[in-house]
Structure 1
């Protein structure tokens, strides 16, 4: 088993992960395809604990941000955790390692509902689904692939964007992900789900944190809530997380890459050409035509 290699529309190659079956691609950050496939094959039988929180997101839609917020809520402290979401990621980390994590755990996955553990319907872990407008998601995903050495990619955004829309990258189409979750939510939920929007959390963090706490049935005093939001501010996260030995950082990331790049609403306008935007809107509108759940914000407040 080897990594899948594809080309963008300009002919530039990229490594996009491991095909674990039926064309579904899972990332391979360690360069160990056999281990990734083994984790995938065992995931359906994963068992949740009663106090687990499951964070579900598509790639680049706020996972690290919410992971920190949820961890602070669990710890009742406005301090960034020493844990990273990668150590709690169901499709990357072997179950034996996740089972060693202390409770309460914040587990996370970019997988669509059909690939999540079957135990979710029995154990009913409280599940947070966070989504983000697809244009900013695409820009963040592109920069993610350019920055991580494992993808070995250095193509142009306009050549990469059609590949994203076609679902040829890890985790497949964002539209498919959203529509699958919409079916789960609208047909009657087997487990408690709380839907959040990246943009709403950015624009009104206090209200969104209050809604999240109500869903989790957890009470925190107002000062701690404010402290958590301040501790999880973008600049704070960018400066304090993912700092490590230079030789490790250099091995993982290209020079000058920032994992927390901007986090803005509407940065896509600095990347999309008119042709990109027309192509994107046509495809997105067609594929999401039957969706009645998701409504995205594509710009923030005027400065």
Structure 2
């Protein structure tokens, strides 16, 4: 069923989505019931790795890193990570892909194929500052023809905070995944902060290697960190992406690799918008164990995530 959300008040902007089982998909997605059924039939292998994140949180980047680590190589893949997103409707092709497979999903844990949960496949849960996510998704969906987004940044931010955008809300997604980690301690789920990985890629990629139980030398991890910096990936993927996906975006240009920085949101948020956003974050996330350092301690140069019991404990 198609739905159109309009930004409230005098804010300009609206977005049209296709709703199925409470999820908001691009309007052009065909036969969602069939795709959902095929998704659940996916037979995961024990060595499959699944990267789970809210959209625009760094999936494509981390997919490259994990693929390199699994194959013990520093060469960037010629594949497009989007091909391996479970809900993208290519289940039959994914089933036939050579192992080990690095898969991705923007869905909740309970909606992943049953086989992934039964076999306790390793899951990497990527978290990024929602302000950066909001800005990145605004630019992406503005250029995505099928999203039908028309409006201003302020209008988009209004809908983003309400979860009335493609793939629903960041807050709900992040809270549900934390609940999964708490309720399923035996499942191998690794939390990766986008900001931490940008700040110290070698350390975070080494932690990834250890989580995946791989024997990758430090020298290889260092080279992987160097070869997966934003400019390198953008250069390597541009021709492939433009050829395969360019036509679905305004100007026939693939906008995925835009800036890749962790603080570009500062050039979009006004001081008032940021103050209001931080207060909303505190109100909605105060019970979460994983907190964002950039909001918990905004005057610090530190970034990433911090483990705590309540937000107030960091004041």
* TM-score when normalising by structure 2: 0.86
TM-superposed deviation, 1:128: 0.6
TM-superposed deviation, 1:241: 0.9
Is the Cα contact below 8 Å between 2:26 and 2:147 reproduced in 1? no
| Matched position secondary structure for 2:20 | strand
TM-superposed deviation, 1:248: 5.5
The 5-angstrom pairing of residues 171-186 of structure 1 reads 171-186=167-182
The 5-angstrom pairing of residues 21-32 of structure 1 reads 21=21, 23-27=22-26, 31-32=28-29
Is the Cα contact below 8 Å between 1:133 and 1:296 reproduced in 2? no
Report the Cα distance in structure 1 between the residues aligned to 2:246 and 2:100, rounded to whole angstroms. 33
Q: CA offsets per residue over residues 82-134 of structure 1, 9 Å max, x none?
A: 22121111111232121111111001001111211222332111111110011
Change (3 A) 1:50 1:248: closer
| Matched position secondary structure for 1:169 | coil
TM-superposed deviation, 1:234: 0.4
| Matched position secondary structure for 2:60 | helix
Report the Cα distance in structure 2 between the residues aligned to 1:24 and 1:246, rounded to whole angstroms. 28
TM-superposed deviation, 1:301: 5.1
| Structure 2 counterpart of 1:277, from 274, 286, 301 | 274
Q: CA offsets per residue over residues 277-297 of structure 1, 9 Å max, x none?
A: 233223222111211223343
Q: CA RMSD in A?
A: 2.2
Q: What runs of 5+ residues in structure 1 fail to find an aligned partner?
A: none
Change (3 A) 1:261 1:52: same
Report the Cα distance in structure 2 between the residues aligned to 1:245 and 1:136, rounded to whole angstroms. 23
* TM-score when normalising by structure 1: 0.90
TM-superposed deviation, 1:246: 5.9
Q: CA offsets per residue over residues 136-180 of structure 1, 9 Å max, x none?
A: 111111111112222232421111101011111122111111111
TM-superposed deviation, 1:11: 4.4
Which residue number corresponds to residue 259 of structure 2? 262
Which residue number corresponds to residue 220 of structure 2? 224
